[in-house]
Chain A
């Protein structure tokens, strides 16, 4: 009897402790948003801060650059200390989400606008416009706007490094198709004509273009002037121009201009296709040239670059990486000083010399480094083209276009490409699905 009672008591204790533990972790609160910085806090530059980047340490030159820049900051501001944390890209969102929920985000965080937007909507990050009203004028306008949410005030991050794609194409495949490799496509019409000619010549062995819907569908719509989302955050890209565009994509897919399996493939497949020499044109940032050189030297030899394609008068696309300061930071002054330091003209220029990215400060862009393509390499030509395009470049992907919205939209567009839905229906359903997810129009 005693033994049974003891067993029951222990069992009950175990169950109770389990339940207690379960309930202890059962908060239904969202992220810890902290508070805006006071003028005193912002003027105090001392103490320790943590600085999180996204997968930069794998490149030894970049790692050294970051370490040297941190050391230079600590020298310039005695009494400060910066702890560098490099987070792998895969799983970074989950890590930052957990940190944000615990009010434990690093003092300076490297994110792109889409990554940061859901947290910003909750007011997690410091308003940079408020903290330093003069700062905006030093940065590329389109990049600065990348950290603004339509319909709300303020800017929640400082742009750091930028990439703006150029049109990369395989001159060998152009020649094989009887096209002039020195006559790069300048408009979407020319691009699609070239693609059709190359795919026809390739007869299944190689193709002119991969649709890479995941990466290009929405930004291509913006580049032909289709409005994607309005001020009330209602998705609006089911316009007649978009219908025409989707009809053309469907026609190209069904007539074999794109690889047969490309409709369900990702950007990686498009990259691999270009590197394997089975896809002739691949729009990408200059940094991709290093990857081609390493993985496919033969294709690299044949690669030529040309300006990014967009319709006349429409913006071109750029990707923005920024630095954000959570309001939970205990050293907001140091965090802001460090953000300004690492994004200043001198440090960004040094960064661009280590990695083929563009600086977000206009002063750095004026450096001859971005205009000097006298070495005749495609990399320097790509950097020049990319830098010169920044004036009309914007982050064309709306911050609300997260993975869930993207998959819902692309699932419908895929049906249009395979001919199971008309372009009009596909776009209408895509817009409806996107609005349903983001609550557009509610």
Chain B
């Protein structure tokens, strides 16, 4: 059996990426995720890979674009302001249909914000972020082990659907140490080759081109429709979530990532006090598991959405729940992490107990 080791979230993501076959990492320092590029700068040379500290996030994402054009597994990580700078390149990659894994360790915002954990980039990550019609697969781990598993999944999904995949975490997931089991190293020869589209030199074949534009609107519309079709496929196949103590629950807390983890304690505490609470935790923020949440919400007394933002996922929760149940929101902003007690207090207030 694979051994369990105690590691920090950021380093766990880096190690998982390497085991998934990633041998290229481009990044620019920004707190609170510097341990990830630092880890990669040490590990990449050990496995024959490349780590490059870039001149900016703008350059970073375009290096990721270039590496992805060759069909090679590539990754970057950043935090909120850096993720904003990457949006132009991400939009280009979405249109050019290029696979890559992008980690955003979200911090307080908007603007320069602070360096504390936040979930304020939910909209940016799930609703497009850059210009034009596109969405990215967005994965939100709530434990270090899940961060490892989702990192591997992210590379596989990126390759399968030819799309950038975002792992959204925050400083809590990044800094927390937990025991994890790492997967085996992927044999690089078994990774998808992408011979049908990658830029590898037109050696004995027709040239390949990768572009994110066409000046003929009818052709561009066709490219757009191809992306739409792909997104529909992703929606049909890749929705993921966790259900916790929902069997007999009267109250459902919806939360993701770090708050999803905190909410588990709230469920336990509430149940001790006789409130039948359960948790619905989306793991894919896009595609959002609307149908399952709708089903669950039927006949419930209350849906309490808890986030570290002003209620960004709340919009998706409302779309899912429709008018099947009453929905309330509790959120903290600016990098404040809500405690289980605060959330329980809010829950009781909404229940009038």
Question: Are A and B genuine complex partners?
Answer: no
